[in-house]
Amino acid sequence: MKLAAYERVCGFPTGEPALPVTYPHVLGFPLAMRLMSRRDFPLPLLGLVHTSVEIVRGAALAADGAYELSVRVDGLAAHRRGTEAAVVTELRSEGTVVWASRSTYLARHRTGPAASPVRGRDTGARLPAVAEWSLAGDVGRRYGAVSGDRNPIHLHPLTARLFGFPRAVAHGMWTLARCLAAHGTGDCTMVRAGFRAPVPLPGTVTYGADGNGRFELRDGGGRLHLWGAVS
């Protein structure tokens, strides 16, 4: 079962009555890819990097529920490293939005002085370390198989190098889901996360959390990979 495979690769418990809070993103991903692969989409699909996501959940979503999905592109914005596209996904039950997300995807290219400043800059203050995770080299391929996101930067070192990465890097949504599985999000109504630096595969990262809804991933040298918060 696809849901169970997703739960296993992300570290969520399997067989729960409610969907993991990140799972509707997977359900909407084929529609998002269809939109971003259209000829009138102004950015190249290959090599797009997920930079942030905000999720709002109205209530726990039954794993066996019936839902309607919609996805739309909600504009472009200048970024210091290129151009970002915002993609909004909504999940409806009987016509009511019960889950929504807004993701930004970056196409890297040279920019002029008008590019926007960095959002969510790392202040250097670390959250208390909770666990150290050793990530296998095949995490990108395993997550890609269950999510449908087979961006070449996540699959193999050779394909990643074609887009400027020395090694394959983990999916941003996998790193977020892995953190949320460790954090516990059964009653959360909002998730915010920023993907600050790619997580090379294989590799080792430290998961930190403060007990007040904030969490992060850093490498051994302290570089911030992901920051997040739930409420």
- Encode pLDDT of 32-81 as tens digits: 999 999 999 989 887 788 899 999 999 889 999 999 999 999 988 888 88
Residues 97-120: tens digit of each pLDDT: 999 999 999 988 877 654 444 455
SS (H, E, C) 154-221: HCCHHHHHCCCCCCCECCHHHHHHHHHHHHCCCCCCEEEEEECCCCECCEEEEEEECCCCEEEEECCC
Query: Considering the chain, what percentage of its residues have pLDDT values greater than 70?
Result: 93
pLDDT at 118: 46
Question: From CA 69, how far away is CA 56, in angstroms rounded?
Answer: 15
Assign residue 214 the CATH number of its domain: 3.10.129.10
Range of the domain at 9: 2-230
**The total number of structural domains that make up the chain:** 1
Across the strands, what pairs with 191? 55, 230
| Whole-prediction pTM | 0.90
Match 């839902």 to its residue by tokens. 67
